[in-house]
Amino acid sequence: MAVSERIRRSAVALLAQWADRPVRWPCRKRFLSGDAPGTIGTCGAEASADDGGWHALGIDTDVTPSTAAGPEPRADRARLDRPRPDAVDTTRRRGRMTPAKHATIARLAPTLGLDADDGGPWRDRLVAAFGRDAPRLLDVGVGAADATIAWALAHPDQDVVAVEVHRPSLAAAFAAVEAAGVDNLRIVEADVRRVLADLEPGDVTAVRVLFPDPWPKARHHKRRLVGAEFVARVADVVPPGGWLHVATDWPDYAGAVRAAIAAEPRLEVVADPGPLVERPVTVYERRGLDAGRPPVDVVARRRA
């Protein structure tokens, strides 16, 4: 047996022992979860064996022991092979998937979810899903969706598209949306940068990012979701009068968001955003408050 094959089988056996547990990948800066080979990914971050981690070592899932894959259907795992629109990973990917979480997603995605891979025009699909063409909020990185549900309940005249890339959070969001019984909210499992790339101007009215992963270390700032590129793409898709809202408890991140908005001529910061920033205290906001970091809300409007 070739040495490379022996190494590969050893890696598979080792990873099988860690199925459904967080795995800390060796820092190789390549072949990381969902990334194209040779690109920089979640080096040193925690990943889960069930969220694409097999690909972190360049391992073909065809040889993955069935115990490692758990109950997740093959089609779901195959989705993780696709390259992301951007080589840099923006989420820390903590947490684990359980059979119950897999089952929650599988049960609720057909009714409460929207498929980022559908390929059809988003506007048509959104109008069909909600049964109307109302103002739409794109809520990014929603975690357990507490603030997302609150917005949907408070604004029955609007529709909400929640995007989350992290599967354990996604399971929590689906369960919470089902429990809340809101019908003007759908959840998309995707990297939001990919969704933004597929949206046409006017498909959403507003974009909100509550407490994006802070990546506080300077060497990790490149992983921050909200920067010049993100802001420019938001300006592409929201109509005049549309808005972007970013909340963070990291003052330097807020400053960087303001700077990105200042450099984007189509957007201007709103001095008094009023009810636009109303929300319940989110899970991550609470953590910041407990650590002595009050939230900073930055709201920008699209100029006419």
Ligand X SMILES: C[S@@+](CC[C@H](N)C(=O)[O-])C[C@H]1O[C@@H](n2cnc3c(N)ncnc32)[C@H](O)[C@@H]1O
Please report whether residue 35 would count as binding ligand X according to CB under 6 A. no
Instruction: Name the minimum Å distance from CB 286 to ligand X.
Output: 8
Of the candidates 237, 239, 238, the residue with the CA atom closest to the CA atom of residue 199: 237
**Catalytic residue, candidates 124, 213, 272, 297:** 213
Please report whether residue 185 would count as binding ligand X according to CB under 6 A. no
Query: In the complex with ligand X, which residue's Cβ is closer, 147 or 300?
Result: 147
Residue from 141, 242, 288, 295 binding ligand X (CB under 6 A): 141
Q: Is 247 helix (H, G, I), strand (E, B) or coil?
A: strand
Catalytic annotation present for 213? yes
Please report whether residue 295 would count as binding ligand X according to CB under 6 A. no
Residue 235 has phi, psi (to 5 degrees) of -60, -30
Question: Quick one: which segment of 65-73, 110-118, 196-204, 280-288 binds ligand X (CB under 6 A)?
Answer: 280-288
Within residues 198-217, the interface with ligand X by CB under 6 A covers: 210-213
Please report whether residue 169 would count as binding ligand X according to CB under 6 A. yes
Instruction: Name the minimum Å distance from CB 196 to ligand X.
Output: 9
Please report whether residue 231 would count as binding ligand X according to CB under 6 A. no
Please report whether residue 249 would count as binding ligand X according to CB under 6 A. no
Q: Return the exposure string of 88-118: e unless at least 16 CB atoms fall within 10 Å of the residue's CB, then b.
A: bbbbbbebbbeeebbebbeebbeebbbebee
CA–chain centroid gap for 267, Å, is 23
CA–chain centroid gap for 190, Å, is 6
Question: Quick one: which segment of 66-74, 110-118, 185-193, 255-263 binds ligand X (CB under 6 A)?
Answer: 185-193
Within residues 77-96, the interface with ligand X by CB under 6 A covers: 90-91
Of the candidates 20, 9, 14, 48, the residue with the CA atom closest to the CA atom of residue 32: 48
Residue 215 has phi, psi (to 5 degrees) of 40, 65
Distances (CA, A) of 299 to 19, 160, 261, 269, 278: 42, 18, 9, 6, 12
Question: Quick one: which segment of 52-60, 149-157, 162-170, 229-237 binds ligand X (CB under 6 A)?
Answer: 162-170
Please report whether residue 230 would count as binding ligand X according to CB under 6 A. no
Question: CA 172, CA 143: separation in Å to the nearest integer?
Answer: 8
Question: CA 22, CA 56: separation in Å to the nearest integer?
Answer: 13
Instruction: Name the minimum Å distance from CB 173 to ligand X.
Output: 9
Residue from 149, 225, 235, 260 binding ligand X (CB under 6 A): 225
Q: Which residues here bind ligand X, judged by CB under 6 A?
A: 90-91, 140-143, 163-166, 169, 191-193, 210-213, 225, 282-285
Q: Which residues are catalytic?
A: 213
